[in-house]
Amino acid sequence: MFIQRLLTILVMAPLVLLGMYYANYWFFAAVIFLLVQACGFEWLQLVPITRFPLKLVFMASLIVASILCYFFYEIWLIPGLLAWLLVIAALVGFPRSQAYWGKPGIIAFSAILLLPLFGQSMINVFALPQGKALVVYLLLLIWGADIGAYMAGKQWGRHKLIPAVSPGKSYEGLCGGLGLALAVAVAGYSYFKPDSVTRWFLMALSVILISLVGDLIISMFKRRVQIKDTGHLIPGHGGILDRLDSMIAAAPFFYGWFWMSG
Separation CA 62–CA 258 (nearest Å): 26
Residues 6+ apart with CB under 8 A from 63: 37
Rounded to 5°, the CA angle 44-45-47 comes to: 70
Per-residue model confidence as pLDDT tens digits over 11-41: 777 877 788 778 899 999 999 999 999 999 9
Structural contact between residues 48 and 104, judged by C-beta atoms closer than 8 angstroms: yes
Among 98-107, 156-165, 196-205, the range with the most confident prediction by mean pLDDT is: 196-205
Confidence (pTM): 0.92
H/E stretch holding 221: helix 197-225
Model confidence at 9: pLDDT above 70: no
Higher pLDDT, 86 or 126: 126
Model confidence at 262: pLDDT above 70: no
Terminal-to-terminal C-alpha distance of the chain: 44
- Pick from 180, 179, 188, 182: nearest CA to 136: 188
- Pick from 260, 27, 247, 258: nearest CA to 118: 247
136 class by beta-carbon count within 10 Å (0-12 exposed, 13-18 middle, 19+ buried):
middle
In the structure, what pLDDT confidence band is assigned to residue 58 with cuts at 50, 70 and 90?
Answer: very high
Where does residue 238 fall: left (phi above 0), alpha (psi -120 to 50 degrees), or beta otherwise? Answer: left
- Pick from 70, 71, 66, 74: nearest CA to 115: 66
Number of C-beta neighbours around residue 133 at 10 A: 14
- Pick from 166, 69, 171, 164: nearest CA to 114: 69
